[in-house]
């Protein structure tokens, strides 16, 4: 992930309603949620939530699919994984095996004692 993409993702998440919506979509998993369901679950107005979901979509954090008159939103787990990997890229002073469980990356072979 490039730095500009990471900044866009963090900017999108730097607002309480958008962060709550994103976390709700993470919790919903692959089933996602309809925009109206998200608004209802968070006690938000539908047009406000639609604008917030649009910002998250623009940052690549969510994807959507039209279902009749409704739009279903899903967390974009690939982008989320890339963002976490971007943060953990230089983890632990060159010992990425410590951070492997967080990033989903395979750990490197352990360093031998010198």
Closest by CA to 105, choosing from 61, 70, 90, is 90
Pick the CATH number of 1-114 from 2.60.40.10, 3.30.450.40, 1.10.10.10, 1.20.1250.20: 1.10.10.10
Cβ atoms of 17 and 49 within 8 Å: the answer is: yes
- Percent pLDDT > 90 in the chain is 68
Helices and strands in the chain, H and E counts: 6, 3
Longest dimension (CA), the chain: 64
DSSP string, 48-91: HHHHHHHHHHHTTSEEEEEETTEEEEEE-HHHHHHHHHHHHTTG
Rounded mean pLDDT of the chain?
Answer: 86
- Structural domain boundaries of the chain? 1-114
109 pLDDT tier (thresholds 50, 70, 90): very low
Alpha-carbon span 56 to 104, nearest angstrom: 23
Cα→Cα distances 101→85, 104, 105, Å: 11, 5, 7
Predicted TM-score (pTM) of the model is 0.80
């Amino acid at each position: 992930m490039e730095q500009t993409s990471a900044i866009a993702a963090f900017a999108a998440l730097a607002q309480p309603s958008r962060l709550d919506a994103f976390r709700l979509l993470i919790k919903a998993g692959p089933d996602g949620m309809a925009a109206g369901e998200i608004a209802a679950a968070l006690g938000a107005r539908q047009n406000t939530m639609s604008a917030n979901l649009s910002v998250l979509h623009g940052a690549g954090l969510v994807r959507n699919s039209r279902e009749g008159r409704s739009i279903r939103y899903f967390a974009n787990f690939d982008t989320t994984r890339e963002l976490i990997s971007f943060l953990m890229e230089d983890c632990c002073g060159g010992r990425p095996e410590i951070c492997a469980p967080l990033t989903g990356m395979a750990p490197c072979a352990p360093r031998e004692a010198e």
